[in-house]
Structure 1
Amino acid sequence: MGLQGEWVQYGDHQQYSGYLVLPEGPAPLAKPAVLVIQEIWGVDPHIQDLTRRFAQAGFIAFAPDLFYQAGGKAPQLQEQRVEDAKRFLDTLPPAAWRDTQAREAALGALPEAQGRAIGETLELILAAGANAAAYVSVLEASAGFLREYESGSRRRPVAAVGFCLGGMLSAQLATRDAELRGAVVFYGNLPQAEQVAQLNCPVLGFFGELDTRITDQVPAFAEAMKQGGKAFDYRIYEGAPHAFANDTRASYRAEPAQDAFARTLTFMREHLTTLE
């Protein structure tokens, strides 16, 4: 039959939505859980595929939709609008993505309605990091949901993995959730040195050498973690750009992506156990 993913509503008022995939085999609900945290594109086909891959590896896997609010998503964040924005950004060099002047000039060359629609979507997704505190609150609720989802009287162990925006949020969740078993960061901004004392679990990071905006943060964070007696392991992949693990983008690099995913599974198996 194969893996079956489903969208579920959760939260005290069913105000959140996420993509849930159970592992195959006997007693799937006895397995530990991995929280898969989206890029700026939302829970798109790539994130759904990653969620299924974690389920194939034997975990309950769940990707909360951070753009879903109280019954739905803003029109600007609907899947087709985001796909249109992706295609537009692919026509620009990556350095121009956050260059407002260059972006507006390129948008101005499009038909007026199309340019306006893409511009509205880009305004929201490129500023998603500013909503980090709200997103972490959603992730706390998501981790709580996973710990209790059809688990009887026991609490299911949960670890997090995030990509880009989600990488940053994975580490931030680790500063807030005392029960989190581990946090994996794929090319996301790292916590500030003053937050290290708040980290509650081991952290694993994967970074691209060419993604200097992110990767330049690694040495200081590693030193702060060492000084704080915290566990932080990481890899910086030579010649790899940002989003090297996204196999739907031009940035994809197969060798580091496959190595990082294998290391992530090893990390999850080390720090997650079956229901206690």
Structure 2
Amino acid sequence: MGLQAEWIQYGQGQSGYLVRPEGEELQAPGVVVLQEIWGVDAHIRDVTARLAGAGYVALAPDLYADGGVRPAELEEPRLEAAKRFLNGLPQSAWRDAAARTEALTALPERQRAEVETTVGSLFDLGGLRAEFADKAAAAAAYLREVQPQSSGCGVAALGFCLGGALSAGLAARDSALKGAVIFYGAPPEADAIASIEAPLLGFYGALDPRITEAVPAFAQQLEEAGKSFTYHVYEDAPHAFFNDTRPSYRIDAARDSYAHTLAFLQRVLAPEAAPKRSGGSGPAAGLA
């Protein structure tokens, strides 16, 4: 099965990376892929393609872009430079402004200024969370209502870190969402839990206490509210264990979590639940 990949614009100035199985007659469920702070980078594009290869129409909305254009400090080369800089620090120092400033002195002056500006922007995204949530919701609506191959089919969400939090938030916001996968994302506010209708699946690292220590309470709140939530904590895994472009990558946790993810998507986006076009075929999905 071939794949078609393209950057698209949709909705009200939204843009994103869309990968879908080839064949206009093929209908398939949709998956919204929600980025880490690094944007729709090579890793997120690869995950989007993997999901399309499993038989889904996958869309990664560019949370940083408006009308297809990002601010200069959040363009991909600048984000990659910031990632390389932060990868050279202990993760405990990432949010320590003094430690970052000291490490920045080792960079050439121009590069230092650019990295400092980009890192500052990445650690000051809180005011944009509502805008990001709108973009996630617009991506789900596009897949469900507009994109020809997935229109009328079920849509689920999957996100990492920043995107993991948005995936859970989308489940609270979008009553039509069929499921949400959370990779090491912070839980939503307690008052959002009552609105969650879709089943949730979460993956966390034991070496990521800032995120993982909040999960048992989140699970208890969901259970008390009668919601469905299954989660896995990998003992030797840090934050971002799924990202195979970073030193945090842990192959065993990544392999296991991806197998669980595909099984979950197969269940919540069951082919028999999706309408078929005349002459079309149902979606293909698997654990490969």
TM-score normalised by the chain length of structure 1: 0.94
| Residue type at the aligned position of 1:206 | F
Structure 1 counterpart of 2:69:
72
- 1:207-246 correspondence runs (5 A): 207-246=204-243
Write out per-residue CA displacement over residues 211-233 of structure 1, whole angstroms, 9 at most, x where no aligned residue: 00000011101111110000000
Question: Are 1:126 and 2:134 an aligned pair?
Answer: no
CA contact (8 A) 1:19 1:64 kept: yes
CA distance, structure 2, for counterparts of residue 81 and residue 126 of structure 1: 14
Write out per-residue CA displacement over residues 71-121 of structure 1, whole angstroms, 9 at most, x where no aligned residue: 401110111111111111122111111101111121133222211100111
CA distance, structure 2, for counterparts of residue 192 and residue 221 of structure 1: 9
Query: How far 1:238 sits from its partner (Å)?
Result: 0.8
| Residue type at the aligned position of 2:5 | G
CA contact (8 A) 2:48 2:59 kept: yes
Structure 2 counterpart of 1:23:
21
SS at match of 1:175: helix
CA distance, structure 1, for counterparts of residue 147 and residue 60 of structure 2: 17
| Residue type at the aligned position of 1:6 | E
Question: Are 1:81 and 2:71 an aligned pair?
Answer: no
Query: How far 1:126 sits from its partner (Å)?
Result: 2.2
CA contact (8 A) 1:207 1:235 kept: yes
Write out per-residue CA displacement over residues 137-178 of structure 1, whole angstroms, 9 at most, x where no aligned residue: 111111111112344996221000000100000001111111
CA distance, structure 1, for counterparts of residue 223 and residue 73 of structure 2: 42
Report the identity percentage: 51
CA distance, structure 2, for counterparts of residue 152 and residue 36 of structure 1: 17
- 1:133-172 correspondence runs (5 A): 133-151=130-148, 155-172=152-169
Query: How far 1:129 sits from its partner (Å)?
Result: 4.0
Aligned residue pairs, count: 273
Structure 2 counterpart of 1:11:
11
CA contact (8 A) 2:140 2:155 kept: yes
CA contact (8 A) 1:209 1:241 kept: yes
CA distance, structure 1, for counterparts of residue 150 and residue 181 of structure 2: 28
Structure 1 pair 218–126 and aligned structure 2 pair: CA distance change class (3 A): same
Query: How far 1:192 sits from its partner (Å)?
Result: 2.7
Structure 1 counterpart of 2:282:
none
CA distance, structure 1, for counterparts of residue 90 and residue 148 of structure 2: 47
Query: How far 1:70 sits from its partner (Å)?
Result: 2.8
Query: How far 1:69 sits from its partner (Å)?
Result: 1.1
Write out per-residue CA displacement over residues 22-45 of structure 1, whole angstroms, 9 at most, x where no aligned residue: 1246833x1000110000000000
CA distance, structure 2, for counterparts of residue 203 and residue 20 of structure 1: 23
CA distance, structure 2, for counterparts of residue 151 and residue 200 of structure 1: 26
User: Mean alpha-carbon deviation: is it higher for 230-239 or for 121-130?
Assistant: 121-130
Question: Are 1:253 and 2:250 an aligned pair?
Answer: yes
CA contact (8 A) 1:192 1:221 kept: no
CA distance, structure 2, for counterparts of residue 154 and residue 11 of structure 1: 14
SS at match of 1:22: strand
- 1:84-123 correspondence runs (5 A): 84-123=81-120
| Residue type at the aligned position of 1:18 | G
Tell me, which stretches of 5 or more residues in structure 1 are unaligned? none
Tell me, which stretches of 5 or more residues in structure 2 are unaligned? 276-288
Question: Are 1:198 and 2:195 an aligned pair?
Answer: yes
SS at match of 1:223: helix
TM-score normalised by the chain length of structure 2: 0.91
* Structure with the larger RCO, 1 or 2 (CA within 8 Å, 6+ apart): 2
CA contact (8 A) 1:185 1:205 kept: yes
Structure 2 counterpart of 1:39:
36
SS at match of 2:222: helix
